Amino acid sequence: MIIVMKRDATPDDVTGVVERLRSIGCEAHVSEGQIQTVIGAIGDRDVISRLPWEAMPGVERAVPVVRPFKFVSRDFQPTDTVVDVGGVQVGGERFVVVAGPCAVESRDQLFRTAEAVVEAGARILRGDAFKPRTSPYSFQGLGEQGLQLLAEVRDKLGIPFVAEVLDPRDVGLVSSYADMLRVGTRNMANFTLLQEVGRQPKPVQLKRGFTATIEEWLNAAEYIYKEGNHQIVLVERGIRTFETAARNTLDITAVPVLKRLSHLPVMVDPSHSGGRRDLVLPLARAGVAAGADGIMVDVHPAPDTALVDGAQALLPDDFAELMDQVARLAAAMNRPL
């Protein structure tokens, strides 16, 4: 149940509802919006719905939750969440481009890429130190050394970075370096990992599982939110369908669907969805036009030598061209870069 307070409800009215919920053995999650306060009631549905909430002082209405996810839904919070990534706002007025190498391979590779993407206007750097690889014999990432290089680049170039975390045991380590943690597609339903990233203070980028429905994805976000971390950005990165022409099928429909169902910011990853360099630009444009809050793009100074995902990485010049087109489209959507 979501209990929506009146605009002129007093702090005492809010406390009254919270205490009433606790008295029946339920938890209360208070969210103070700019306009009004809403209280999420967690506990036995039947017990909660039996009480006359709308008769209590300061209560405007009590809305039963019909969806399995609650806190990440727009019913709970009608206004958009804005996520702060080391000073960069995602989900606010400006469109955000995240760019960088799929994996950190060396200092030279990382610096060259980071300088190029900053120059072209990217505002968050990507680069992974832990890579989820289909084969156990493939390059697995540089680990902590990769995180140190990323932190060095951030400090030199003044750009925050996002990095993937694969294992609940590494959450503290990645969180101590990165400005944002990413849970990748293969881990979207790793509930222990979701809880762990929900208990640390850095914002989280949650990619869609490649076989997950939108509802399953929002439930994954709910796991993070429920632990206390409300700074979550959803990333559509393509799903597995019967189509084999591209690595994955970018589900562009997910963008407007999520915008209706949830208050969380949404990004599109045109690199991992298409899996091919020639598809990155058109899929990026589709993301902007569909109303995403940002995109995340793989860039590499020498894709033919890349240890991971070279086929989809853009060269710095191609990325600059993409930025130019994205800037013009985003401006047409009233989202300046």
- Could you list the residues that contact ligand PEP (CB under 6 A)? 102, 128, 132, 184-185, 207, 237, 272
Least separation in angstroms between residue 226's CB and Mn ion is: 29
Residue number with CB closer to Mn ion (1 or 295): 295
Query: Are the beta carbons of 185 and 237 closer than 8 angstroms?
Result: yes
Residue 293 binds which entry of ligand PEP, Mn ion, none, CB below 5-8 Å type-dependent: none
Alpha-carbon distances of 229 from 36, 88, 121, 137, 293, rounded to whole Å: 21, 17, 28, 35, 20
Residue number with CB closer to Mn ion (58 or 270): 270
Gyration radius of the chain's alpha carbons: 21
Q: How many residues bind Mn ion (CB under 5 A)?
A: 2
What whole-number distance in Å separates Cα of residue 129 and Cα of residue 145? 8
In single-letter form, the type of residue at position 290 comes to A
Chain-centre distance for alpha carbon 136: 27
Residue number with CB closer to ligand PEP (175 or 190): 190
> Other CB atoms closer than 10 Å to residue 158's CB: what's the count?
10
Q: Does 309 bind Mn ion (CB under 5 A)?
A: yes
- Burial readout 19-43 (b: 16 or more C-beta within 10 A, e: otherwise): ebbeeeebebbeeeeeebbbbbbbe
Residue 226 binds which entry of ligand PEP, Mn ion, none, CB below 5-8 Å type-dependent: none
Residue 46 burial by CB count (10 A; 0-12/13-18/19+): exposed, middle or buried? exposed
What whole-number distance in Å separates Cα of residue 278 and Cα of residue 94? 26
Residue number with CB closer to ligand PEP (202 or 237): 237
Residue 259 binds which entry of ligand PEP, Mn ion, none, CB below 5-8 Å type-dependent: none
Least separation in angstroms between residue 188's CB and ligand PEP is: 8
Least separation in angstroms between residue 237's CB and ligand PEP is: 4
Pattern 20-39, Mn ion, x by CB under 5 A: --------------------
Residues across the chain: 337
Least separation in angstroms between residue 205's CB and ligand PEP is: 9
Alpha-carbon distances of 155 from 86, 148, 196, 226, rounded to whole Å: 12, 11, 27, 32
Q: Does 164 bind Mn ion (CB under 5 A)?
A: no
Residue 128 binds which entry of Mn ion, ligand PEP, none, CB below 5-8 Å type-dependent: ligand PEP
Alpha-carbon torsion 303, 86, 91, 141, what sign?
A: positive
Pattern 258-297, Mn ion, x by CB under 5 A: ----------------------------------------
Biggest CA–CA distance in the chain, Å, is 67
Residue number with CB closer to Mn ion (102 or 171): 102
Stretch that binds Mn ion, among 60-68, 89-97, 180-188, 301-309 (CB under 5 A): 301-309
Return the residues of window 84-143 that contact Mn ion according to CB under 5 A.
102
Stretch that binds Mn ion, among 16-24, 158-166, 308-316, 328-336 (CB under 5 A): 308-316
Chain positions contacting Mn ion, by CB under 5 A: 102, 309
